[in-house]
Structure 1
Amino acid sequence: MDASVLSVTPETMRSGAAAAVRMLKMLANEDRLLLLCQLSQGESCVSDLEAALGIRQPTLSQQLAVLRSEELVSTRRDGKNIYYAIARPDVLRLLQTLHELHCPAASG
């Protein structure tokens, strides 16, 4: 086992575990995961997200609000449109890992 893992205190592990659980709860909803995967490609407005993912607007707005409240996405207003983007590099890193594990490149 890596020596750096052994030097982690139980309090640090508990704090890290709590943060991991919060993140995994966010990703455990299919609509939220789809939204984050789409946003990992770049910022999008609600109408673009709705068209790309086929998630109806009320559900889309509800799930975006959850992601905003957990500070996983950020917003930018441009006129009447609100654009959403991934707010944290750790979210992108986790999405990349999930993509590598569960969305293998098409063979060809």
Structure 2
Amino acid sequence: MPRVTALSPVDQATAVADVASLDVARLRAAACDATTLLRALANEDRLLILCQLTQGELSVGELETQLDIRQPTLSQQLAVLRTESLVTTRRDGKRIYYSVADGAVLAVLACLYDQFCPKS
């Protein structure tokens, strides 16, 4: 876990001033977006799917093989990710390919990887 350090009185005053000047409506919208992402990441299967998709677009069959998640569960979790606009799809014939929809999602996943995944 990252180490937390105390703020100096000057830094505390600056932080308070910054918070006071925030546009609450924009902050609320951003908080809504963040909680949507965090809720999706709180499910192990969805987190694994998104982590795998950071490597590039994959079909349902490829995800099933790589993650060892059964197709019904995989489809259910992909539907949640689609509903929350966290993944995009591309159809090629009968196959549907999935990819991460947003750079912000990739950034959060990279941070989680750095904190929780073993270094080789």
* Higher deviation after alignment, 82-91 or 17-26: 17-26
Cα offset for 1:19? 1.8
Q: Deviations over 1:50-76 (max 9, x none)?
A: 000000000000000110111110111
Alignment of 1:86-105 (within 5 A): 86-105=100-119
Larger-gyration structure (1/2): 2
Gaps spanning 5+ residues in structure 1: where? none
TM-score (norm 1): 0.89
TM-score (norm 2): 0.81
Matching residue of 2:23: 9
Distance in 1 of aligned mates of 2:56 and 2:16: 36
Cα offset for 1:15? 2.4
Q: Deviations over 1:35-56 (max 9, x none)?
A: 0000001000011100000000
Gaps spanning 5+ residues in structure 2: where? 1-14
Count of aligned positions: 106
Cα offset for 1:4? 4.5
Q: Secondary structure at the match of 1:64?
A: helix
Distance in 2 of aligned mates of 1:83 and 1:15: 30
Cα offset for 1:9? 2.8
Cα offset for 1:5? 4.5
Q: Deviations over 1:62-106 (max 9, x none)?
A: 000110111110111111111000111111111011101111422
Identity across matched positions, percent? 56
